[in-house]
Amino acid sequence: MTSLEPDERYSRQILFDGIGAAGQQKLAAARVAIVGCGATGSALASLLARSGVGAIRIIDRDYVEASNLQRQTLFEEADASESLPKAIAAARKIAAFNSQIVIEPQVADLTPTNVDSLLAGAGLILDGTDNFETRYLINDYAVKNSLPWIYTGAVGSYAVTMNVVPGRTACLTCVFPEPPGGALETCDTAGILNSAVNLAASIAATEALKFLIGAESQLRHTLVSFDLWRNERSEISAAKPRPGCRTCDAREFPHLAGEGRPHITLCGRNSVQIHERHRPMDLTEMSERLRIHGTVKHNDFVLKFWHDPYEMTLFPDGRAIIKGTSDTAVARSLYARYIGN
């Protein structure tokens, strides 16, 4: 039988000069949070979990869908057919290849209201999100609390990443006072190559290891980006905070003071998310109620209800995603009709 003792499991990483036995022990004691567990978040979680980072909190509100399988490496066909929340599916998959670390799945959207509790205790925050709204929220929280974080993004064939060490390097607002021009492109509109995701995540995961073992002199101090299809690479300095930056210089944190997402939002194409009901929902009871109106399937984490031409997904916190319309009024009336207020 193969030994699962840490010395054996991590032997090839301990052999690597930059890490060694002392570095490996620091990784075992480290706690990180990964915000978003889609493609980039999956790759980050997988790499860091295999590397032996001791505790990883995975925060994601979505559930696994078939279109995720092309690039979201922690998920399987069964997760998509069960519509498992990504945080739960990721935790299960990781437990199967490394049961010796702690994975804390959180099925939630990171918002100004819950950012303190969801990121509490993390020594490093990793960005697996797909939007600048959440990235500015992470940046405000990290700068305010002097916590390092790593910005990571991928869309199309483009990959980008930057380390933020508050007080020492530039922060996200230093580099992007406003969301960058291409920020509105998402993998729903521009598509995405799985290799671009893995490149961004590989660089960010390596920087994370450097942070966690204290190899500060090796940290990269640039915003680096690649376009794998066009064979382009660019790097701009992010070594110093920008004088006049409203976040790290003026210490204004408007994203922490925000109300969070509006109660009803478009999400992706032809789909609306509603979270105006702030009380828990009993999915078993709801499943019984909905059965007479259409096809229903549920597990502990999610309920799916098909009522042609709509597909409704309900979560225990009362949140719903309605597919088949991009009209928020239609979505709201469906919610009121089948779920109640």
Residue 187 appears among annotated catalytic residues: yes
β-bridge pairing 295-298 and 303-307: antiparallel
Question: Which H or E run contains 219?
Answer: none
Of 230, 309, 265, 240, the C-alpha closest to 133 is 265
Nearer to Zn ion, 91 or 174 (CB): 174
Cβ of residue 117: shortest distance to Zn ion, in angstroms?
Answer: 25
Number of chain residues interacting with Zn ion (CB under 5 A) = 6
Per-residue binder mask for Zn ion (CB under 5 A), 92-121, x = binder: ------------------------------
Largest CA distance in the chain: 64
CA distances from residue 235 to 40, 115, 201, 221, 301 in whole angstroms, order as listed: 20, 31, 17, 10, 42
Smallest distance, Zn ion to C-beta of residue 148, A: 14
Helix, strand, coil in percent for the chain, rounding step 5: 40, 20, 40
Nearest to Zn ion of 157, 169 (CB atom) = 169
Rg (CA), the chain: 21
Task: Please say which residue, 169 or 225, places its beta carbon nearer to Zn ion.
Answer: 169
State which residue, 143 or 154, has the beta carbon closest to Zn ion: 143
- Structural element, H or E, at residue 131: none
Nearer to Zn ion, 56 or 174 (CB): 174
- Active-site residue (options: 37, 171, 174, 187): 187
Phi, psi of 124 (to 5 degrees): -155, 140
Does the bond joining 241 to the residue before it have cis omega, within 30 degrees of 0? no
Q: Does 171 bind Zn ion (CB under 5 A)?
A: yes
Selected range binding Zn ion among 109-117, 125-133, 157-165, 169-177, rule: CB under 5 A: 169-177
Please tell me whether residue 313 binds Zn ion under the rule CB under 5 A. no
Q: Which residues of 102-121 are buried (b: 16+ CB within 10 A; e: fewer)?
A: ebebbbbbbbbeebeebbee
Q: Does 174 bind Zn ion (CB under 5 A)?
A: yes
Contact pattern for Zn ion over residues 222 through 261, marking x by CB under 5 A: -----------------------x-xx-------------
The residues assigned a catalytic role are 187
Under the rule (CB under 5 A), what is the footprint of Zn ion? 171, 173-174, 245, 247-248
